[in-house]
Structure 1
Amino acid sequence: MRRDRSQGLSASLTLAFLAAGLGSPVMAQSVSLKPAAMPKLGTVDERYQSYNVEMLEVTGGRFWRPYGPDLKAALRQPAPTSAAQSNGDTPPGMNPAVYEYRPPIDLANPRLRKLAAALGPAYVRVSGTWANTTYFPDDGQAPSTPPPGFMGVLTQQQWKGVVDFAKAVDAEIITSFATGVGTRNPQGIWTPEQAKRLLGYTRSMGGRIAAAEWMNEPTLATMGGAPQGYDAAAYGRDFKRFRAFADQAAPDMIVLGPGSVGETTGNWGVISSYDSAQVLKTRDLLVASQSAPVDAFSYHHYGAVSLRCAPASQTTQEAALTEDWLGRTDQTLAFYRTLRNRFEPGKPFWLTETADAACGGNPWAGTFLDTFRYLDQLGRLAKQEVRVVAHNTLVASDYGLLNDKTLEPKPNYWAALLWRRLMGSTVLETEVPIQEGFHIYAHCLRGTPGGVAVLAINNSRTKPSAVEIPKAAEGYTLTAPQLESASLRLNGQKVKLGVQDELPDLQARRLSAGRVEIAPASITFLAVPEAGNPSCR
C-alpha cells in the first residue's frame, strides 16, 4: 500500500515478488473510485453485524467435538440410522460421537464482555437446534433433569445472565422458543406456555426480547425435536398460533421467520437421512402459514457442512478464496428472495445464522483464510436488502469469533472490529461490479459526516490489484504470515490484546491521493473522511 512516510508498499511488493522468483508483479486489475459521487443504495440495521450465542452454550451440554484424534475416532463409528439410536441430549438422528460436553458459558467474564461490547451495538441471538427442546421453569427451582419431551433445562439464573450480558455489551436479544414434543397438547398442537414464561421473566429482569423466530430451522423440524411425521401443514397451524400469541403477549417484538436452512446446499440431505426425515420445503411452510405474516424474512446460510455431519469434506482450503465459494451466499439469498417476493413482498431479510460450515465449522474456520468469506459476506449482503447478519458463533467451536478456551480473538474478530468502527449503516453503490479475484464495497464512514469507508478484498492468491482514490485516506490492510494462520497483521504489525486485555489502537496508515495497491490475498479498508459524499451527511 502506498503511504506518505517510510517505504511504499508498491516497492515492497515488487521486491517480494523478485525475491520469490516471480519477476515484477503485473497489476491484474485497477479501479478508479469516486467516493464523493457514490449514490446511496440502501441502509442496514445499526446492529447489522451481530452474533449468536447458542442456547446450549448458556445451559451447558453436548456441543460439537473439537477437531483432533477424538473426533477422528468418532467419525469412524457408524452413524445412527434412527432417532432411537441417538442419546437423549443430542438432536434426534445425529451421531452422538461427534459431540462433547461443554459447561455453561460464563457471560459475566470480563474479557468476554469487553470484547463483545467493542462490537456493539449488535444483536445477540440465543437460539440453535437445542433451543427447540429446552425447558424453562416457572420459578427458581429448576429440575435436575429435563421433563418428558425436552432435552435440556435453562435455569432462570442462566437466562438472567443473558439479559445482564445484553445490557452490558449494548446488544438486543434475538431468540426462538421451545417447540418440541414437550410443548404440545395431547393432540400434538403447540402451546405457548414456555414462550410465555420466557417473555415474562425477561421483562421482570428489566430486559426484552427484540426479535424472535418461532422455531429454529423448521426445514429440519424432526431433527430439531418436532414430533415424528411433522409436516408443513402442522407448521402452518402452529405458526398461526404463535403469531396470534406474539401479537398479544409481545406486540413490540419483531417476528422473524421462517428461519429455514439446508435447501440450497446439496449435501444437507446427509443430515436428514440419519432419521429418514425429509427437509421440509420453505415454499410449503409459507403456503401453510401465509395468513400469519412475519415482520422480517429470516433464513440461515452455510456454504457447506463440516466433517462432523458429512461423510466427506464439502469444501477445501484451496477453494476458500474462489468465486464459487464466496458466491454461495448470493445463491442462497437468491433462492429465498424468490420466496420472499411471492409470500412476504417488501419484508427485509435477516440472516440470523451463518458461518463457513454448519456443524461447528471447518478446521480452518478460525484462521485468516475464513476472514475473506466473513467480510465479503457482510459487504455483498448489505447491498441486497439484508438488514441483519448474525455470525455463528461469538465463542463456541471452530467458527467462533473468539477462542472458546482462552477467549483470545481470532482473525474474524479483528475483522469484525474494523467493520464496526468504519462501516456505517448507509450502503453506497461503488458502481464497480464484483470482479474475478477483486471485490469492492462502500458504506458511509461511521461517525464522520460526508466520509466514506471502502472495503477492498483481493481474493486472488497471486495477482495484485489497485484502486485509485482522489483524496487522502487512512488505510487498514489485513494480512497473515500464512493464510491458515490464527494470527492477523494490521499494516504489517501483529494484532493482539494488551496485558490488561486492552484493545489495540488499530492505527491506520496515511495514504496520499492516487494509486493504492492491494496485494494478493489481502484485505484493505480505506477511510476517506473528506470524501464529501452528500448521502453521508
Structure 2
Amino acid sequence: MNFLLLLSLISLRTHGTRTGPDGGWALEPDQNLVQDQVTDPDLVLEPDLSAVLRRVDPRFLSVTIDASLAAEESFMALLSSSKVRTLSSALSPSFLRFGGTRQDFMKFKPHRRKRNLKNTKNTGESCQQLLPWWVEDQLKKNWTLQQQILIKEDLKRKFKKTSFTEVTVDLLNSFSSCCGFDLIFGLNALLRTSENVWNSSNAETLIEYCRSRRYQMNWELGNEPNSFEKKAGIRVDGHQLGLDFLHLRELMSRSGFYRDAGLFGPDVGQPRDHRTDILEGFLQTGAEAVDAVTWHHYYVNGRATSLEDFLDPEVLDTLTLKTNEVMEKVKLLSPTKPVWLGETSSAYGGGAVGLSDTFVAGFMWLDKLGLGATLGLDVVMRQVLVGSGSYHLLDENLDPLPDYWLSLLYKRLVGPEVLKVRKRSSSAQSKRVRTYLHCSNEKSYSRGSVTLISMNLNQNSFRISVPSLLSSSSLDAFILQSDQLNSRSVKLNGRLLQMLDDETLPDLRGTRLPPSDHLQLPGFSLNFFVFLDVQAAACL
C-alpha cells in the first residue's frame, strides 16, 4: 500500500481534459484507478536535509489592501465584516500593506472632531464592533458599481484626487490589530514643491494623528515611482526619491513614537528600461532610510493573456530573471538590506478576468511563493486581500477564492526555513512539475518534519521518487484540485472547500498515508506533502 492510495481516497485521477458545461476547462474523472506499477519514476528528488538554505520572514506570505477601497471612504467599512475578519485572522502573522496607484492621489483630511484618545489597539471593544449584515449587503452591491468607475479611471490613466479622514485610518488600525497583521501605510509621494521635493506637510498631519492614537504602524512613500510620469506628468528620479525617504525617516524619528517603526520602499515596478536606474539612484541616496527594499512583480498583462500563460513554466521562470536583476543591484549598493516583493499577483492591470480569480491562478501564486523564498525574497505581499481588481483572495461576496485556500494551507503547513532540493529527470514533461522544500510549520507539526510543495502543470498524472530519508516516513497529503481550471471553487482531497458559516472555517486536515517510495501527483494539481517522521537535522 503506497501513496497511490490517495487517488482512490479522493476518487479522482486526471486523465485528460474536456469542455465543461459552461464552456470552461474540466478535469476528466477516470474510474480505472492507477495500480502500483514497476516503472521508472518521471522525476527523482534529492533533498538536502542537513542544513537550512535560508530563512524567510515569518510573515513571508503577506497581503495588501489597495488604496482604491478608500477612494469612496464608506467601503472601508467592509473591513469590519465578520466574514472578512475571520478569513483574515487565519492568515496571520502577516504584513498588511495599504497602498497602490491611488495612494499618490489621496490626501489626509481630518474632521478634527473631539475623539476619545485612549489606545484602542489592545481593547477588545473595537474587535467586537462588527458590520451589521444589512449594511454589508448594501456595500457589496454598491462596490460592483464602484468597480466600474475605478476600471474606467485605470483605462484612461486619469486618477481623481480624493481625500480620506480619520475613519480610514481608524478602520485600518482596528482591522490589522484585531486580525494580527502588521500595518504598512503608503504615503502620497506626488505632493511636491516647486523644486520637485516631497512636500511632507500632509504626511506630518497624518503621522501626528496616528501618534496621538498610539497606532502601531509602518510606512511607505509612493507607489511605482517609475510610472509617475505616465500617471501624473511628474518625473522623480531615484536620487531625489532617496532624499525624500531620508526626510520621512527624520519625521518618524522626530515623532518619537515611530522612531523604530518600519519604513519600506521604493516600491518600483519590475526591472524594465529606466526602472533599474530609479532603483540604483534610490539605493545610492536613501538605502539607509529603509528597513527593506521593495519592488513589484506581475507575470503578464491582464488584458492580453490566456489560460495557457498561467500554466507555462517559461512564464513562471521569468520571476527568476527579474528577481536576480533586483538582488544584484541591492547586493552591490546595499548588501545588508532584505528584499521584498511589496506588491505582486498574476497579471497587472487589475488581473485577468476569469483567470486571476480562479483555480488556475494558483499555479502562478504557489510557484511564486516557492521560487521567491528560494531566490532570496524575504516577504511576498499578495495583491489583494479584498477589493480592487480580479486578483483578490475574497470575491465580491467576501467569499474565499481558490488562492485564499491555497494561501491558508501554505500558512499552516510551511515553515520559514528553506531547504535545498535537486531534481533529476529524463522526462520532457518534468519541467511542468515544480517542487520546493521547507521545514514544516512548527505550530502545526513537530520539529524535524518537512513539507514538500509541488504542482503538476501537466494534464496527466506524474510520478515522483523520493529517497529513503523521506520514503520511510508516514505523511499527510493535501491535494488541491478543481473540476475546471477556470472555476472559482477548489477541492481539498476531493472535498469542496467552503466556510461553514461567516465565522467558521472548514476542516483542513490532510489525508494520512503510510510510507512509500513514490508520490503520484494528479494532473493540474497543487500539493503539499508533510513528511512526519523525518527528523531532519536542518529542522531540529
TM range (shorter): 0.7 to 0.9
Partner of 2:20: none
Q: Is the 8 A contact 2:92 2:180 kept in 1?
A: yes
Tell whether 2:517 aligns with 1:525: no
Partner of 1:43: 55
Percentage identity across paired residues of the two chains:
24
* CA displacement, residues 434-476 of structure 1 (integer Å, 9 cap, x when unaligned): 9501111121111221121111111223352324332100000
Summarize the Cα distance change of 1:530–1:205 in structure 2 as closer, same or farther, 3 Å threshold.
farther
Letter in 1 for 2:482: A
Aligned residue for 2:403, secondary structure, equals: helix
**Which structure is higher in RCO with an 8 Å CA cutoff and minimum separation 6?**
2
Q: How does 1:193-204 map to 2 (within 5 A)?
A: 193-204=201-212
Which of these residues, 214, 227, 242, is aligned with residue 248 of structure 2?
Answer: 242
417-426 vs 341-350, greater mean Cα deviation = 341-350
Q: What is the CA–CA distance in structure 2 between the aligned matches of 1:9 and 1:418, rounded to whole Å?
A: 20
Letter in 1 for 2:210: T
Partner of 1:129: 101
Tell whether 2:185 aligns with 1:175: yes
Tell whether 2:163 aligns with 1:153: yes
Aligned residue for 1:440, secondary structure, equals: strand
Q: Structure 1 residue 186: deviation in Å?
A: 4.2
Letter in 2 for 1:438: V
Partner of 2:65: 53
Tell whether 2:448 aligns with 1:442: no
Letter in 2 for 1:480: S
TM-score, reference length from structure 2? 0.79
Q: What is the CA–CA distance in structure 2 between the aligned matches of 1:384 and 1:104, rounded to whole Å?
A: 35
Q: What is the CA–CA distance in structure 2 between the aligned matches of 1:476 and 1:484, rounded to whole Å?
A: 20
Letter in 1 for 2:381: A
Q: What is the CA–CA distance in structure 2 between the aligned matches of 1:455 and 1:485, rounded to whole Å?
A: 22
* CA displacement, residues 54-86 of structure 1 (integer Å, 9 cap, x when unaligned): 12213428xxxxxxxxxxxxxxxxxxxxxxxxx
Q: Is the 8 A contact 2:54 2:419 kept in 1?
A: yes
Tell whether 2:265 aligns with 1:263: no
Partner of 1:95: none
Structure 1 unaligned residues grouped into runs of 5+: 62-101, 143-148, 267-277, 308-312
Aligned residue for 1:222, secondary structure, equals: helix
Summarize the Cα distance change of 1:27–1:232 in structure 2 as closer, same or farther, 3 Å threshold.
same
Q: How does 1:21-420 map to 2 (within 5 A)?
A: 29-32=42-45, 37-60=49-72, 103-140=75-112, 151-180=161-190, 183-210=191-218, 212-225=219-232, 228-249=234-255, 250-264=258-272, 281-286=277-282, 289=285, 292-307=288-303, 313=304, 315-363=305-353, 364-396=355-387, 397-403=389-395, 405-420=396-411
* CA displacement, residues 496-528 of structure 1 (integer Å, 9 cap, x when unaligned): 111354101112111111122111211211112
Summarize the Cα distance change of 1:203–1:130 in structure 2 as closer, same or farther, 3 Å threshold.
same
Which of these residues, 471, 492, 511, is aligned with residue 473 of structure 2?
Answer: 471
Summarize the Cα distance change of 1:233–1:49 in structure 2 as closer, same or farther, 3 Å threshold.
closer
Q: Is the 8 A contact 2:270 2:322 kept in 1?
A: no
Q: Is the 8 A contact 1:294 1:344 kept in 2?
A: no
Summarize the Cα distance change of 1:194–1:432 in structure 2 as closer, same or farther, 3 Å threshold.
farther
Q: What is the CA–CA distance in structure 2 between the aligned matches of 1:433 and 1:208, rounded to whole Å?
A: 48
Q: What is the CA–CA distance in structure 2 between the aligned matches of 1:319 and 1:150, rounded to whole Å?
A: 33
488-497 vs 428-437, greater mean Cα deviation = 428-437
Q: Structure 1 residue 384: deviation in Å?
A: 2.1
366-375 vs 50-59, greater mean Cα deviation = 50-59
Q: Is the 8 A contact 1:45 1:425 kept in 2?
A: yes
Which of these residues, 484, 491, 511, is aligned with residue 486 of structure 2?
Answer: 484
Q: Is the 8 A contact 1:348 1:387 kept in 2?
A: yes
Letter in 2 for 1:173: L
Tell whether 2:514 aligns with 1:512: yes
Q: What is the CA–CA distance in structure 2 between the aligned matches of 1:15 and 1:387, rounded to whole Å?
A: 38
TM-score, reference length from structure 1? 0.79
Partner of 1:428: 419
Summarize the Cα distance change of 1:9–1:123 in structure 2 as closer, same or farther, 3 Å threshold.
same
CA RMSD of aligned residues (A): 3.2
Summarize the Cα distance change of 1:495–1:131 in structure 2 as closer, same or farther, 3 Å threshold.
same
Q: What is the CA–CA distance in structure 2 between the aligned matches of 1:15 and 1:335, rounded to whole Å?
A: 40
Summarize the Cα distance change of 1:223–1:506 in structure 2 as closer, same or farther, 3 Å threshold.
same
Letter in 1 for 2:312: T
The number of equivalent residue pairs is: 467
Aligned residue for 2:393, secondary structure, equals: coil
Q: Structure 1 residue 3: deviation in Å?
A: 5.0
Q: What is the CA–CA distance in structure 2 between the aligned matches of 1:341 and 1:370, rounded to whole Å?
A: 31
Q: Structure 1 residue 127: deviation in Å?
A: 0.7
Q: Is the 8 A contact 1:293 1:344 kept in 2?
A: no
Summarize the Cα distance change of 1:326–1:423 in structure 2 as closer, same or farther, 3 Å threshold.
same
- Higher relative helix content: 2
Q: What is the CA–CA distance in structure 2 between the aligned matches of 1:426 and 1:341, rounded to whole Å?
A: 21
Q: Is the 8 A contact 1:458 1:465 kept in 2?
A: no
Q: Structure 1 residue 429: deviation in Å?
A: 1.6
Q: Is the 8 A contact 1:465 1:520 kept in 2?
A: no
